[in-house]
Amino acid sequence: MQHVESNLPPVWEQERTFHDDLNDWMERTPWLAVSLGVHFIAYFLLLAMPWSHRETPVVTEITSSVVPPVEAPEDPPIPPIEQVLDAPVDDPTLMPVETPSLVESDSFSDLPDSPVEAESTSTNVFDSIWTNPVLGSGGGASGKFGPRGPGGRGKGTRGSQLGVEQGLKWLRDHQSEDGSWDVDEYFVHNVRGGTDCREGAGIASQDVGITGLALLAFLAEGSSTRQGEYKEVVRRGIEWLSKQQDPDTGLIGAAIGHAFLYDHAIATLAMAENYYDSRSPFQKKQTQLAVNFIGRARAPYGGWRYEAPSDGDTDTSVTGWMIFALRAAEDAKLRVDREGYQAALAWLDSVTDPATGRVGYIGPERGGRSSRTEVNADYPAEETEAMTGVGLLTRVFLGQTPDQNPILLKHGDLMLRTLPEWDEARHKVDMYYWYYGTYAMYQLGGEHWRKWKAAMERAILPHQRTDGDYKGSWDPVGPWGYQGGRVYSTATMVLTMQVYYRYSRVLGGR
Section 93-112 average pLDDT: 26
Q: Is there a contact between 316 and 359 (Cβ–Cβ < 8 Å)?
A: yes
Q: Is there a contact between 454 and 181 (Cβ–Cβ < 8 Å)?
A: no
Encode pLDDT of 162-214 as tens digits: 999 999 999 999 999 999 999 988 888 776 655 578 888 878 889 999 999 99
For residue 343, how many C-alpha atoms fall within 13 Å in the half-sphere facing its CB?
21
Residue 231: band (very low, low, confident or very high) from pLDDT cuts 50, 70, 90: very high
Residue 41: band (very low, low, confident or very high) from pLDDT cuts 50, 70, 90: low
Please give the backbone phi and psi of residue 219, each rounded to the nearest 5 degrees, phi first.
-65, -40
Residue 459: per-residue pLDDT: 97
Residue 56: band (very low, low, confident or very high) from pLDDT cuts 50, 70, 90: very low
For residue 412, how many C-alpha atoms fall within 13 Å in the half-sphere facing its CB?
27
| Percent above pLDDT 90 for the chain | 55
Residue 478: per-residue pLDDT: 87
Encode pLDDT of 260-316 as tens digits: 999 999 999 999 999 999 999 999 999 999 999 999 999 999 999 999 999 999 999
Residue 63: band (very low, low, confident or very high) from pLDDT cuts 50, 70, 90: very low
Three-class secondary structure of residue 219 per DSSP: helix
Pick 234 or 184 by higher pLDDT: 234
Residue 37: band (very low, low, confident or very high) from pLDDT cuts 50, 70, 90: low
Q: Name the region of 135 (left: φ>0; alpha: ψ -120 to 50; beta: rest).
A: alpha
Encode pLDDT of 402-427 as tens digits: 999 999 999 999 999 999 999 998 88
State pTM to two decimals: 0.74
DSSP state of 278: H
Neighbours of 65 (CB within 10 A): 5
> According to CATH, where is 1.50.10.10 located in the chain?
141-502
| Percent above pLDDT 70 for the chain | 64
Residue 455: per-residue pLDDT: 97
Pick 298 or 144 by higher pLDDT: 298
The answer to whether residue 444 scores a pLDDT higher than 90 is yes
Encode pLDDT of 473-488 as tens digits: 999 998 877 788 999 9
Residue 197: per-residue pLDDT: 80
200: closest CA among 211, 214, 217, 186?
186
Residue 104: per-residue pLDDT: 26
Q: Is there a contact between 250 and 292 (Cβ–Cβ < 8 Å)?
A: yes
Residue 188: per-residue pLDDT: 82
Residue 42: per-residue pLDDT: 61
The answer to whether residue 60 scores a pLDDT higher than 70 is no
Residue 154: per-residue pLDDT: 55
Residue 483: per-residue pLDDT: 82
Encode pLDDT of 65-98 as tens digits: 333 444 444 434 433 323 322 333 333 222 222 2
Rounded-to-integer distance, Cα 462 and Cα 480, Å: 20
Strand partners for 252: 245
Residue 427: per-residue pLDDT: 85
Rg (CA), the chain: 26
Encode pLDDT of 335-353 as tens digits: 999 999 999 999 999 999 9
DSSP state of 79: P
The answer to whether residue 364 scores a pLDDT higher than 50 is yes
Residue 446: band (very low, low, confident or very high) from pLDDT cuts 50, 70, 90: very high
What are the distances in angstroms from CA 144 to CA 54, 272, 371, 483, 506? Answer: 55, 13, 31, 31, 9
Encode pLDDT of 366-401 as tens digits: 545 555 544 455 555 456 899 999 999 999 999 999
Burial of 121 (0-12, 13-18, 19+ CB in 10 A): exposed
Rounded-to-integer distance, Cα 353 and Cα 199, Å: 40
Residue 438: per-residue pLDDT: 98
For the chain, the average pLDDT equals 76
| 102 Cβ neighbours under 8 A, 6+ residues apart | 134, 135, 136, 142, 143, 504, 505, 506
Pick 277 or 140 by higher pLDDT: 277
Considering Cα of 460, then 465, then 469, then 474, what sign does the dihedral take?
negative
CATH class of 141-502: mainly alpha
**Element holding 287 (H helix, E strand):** helix 281-297
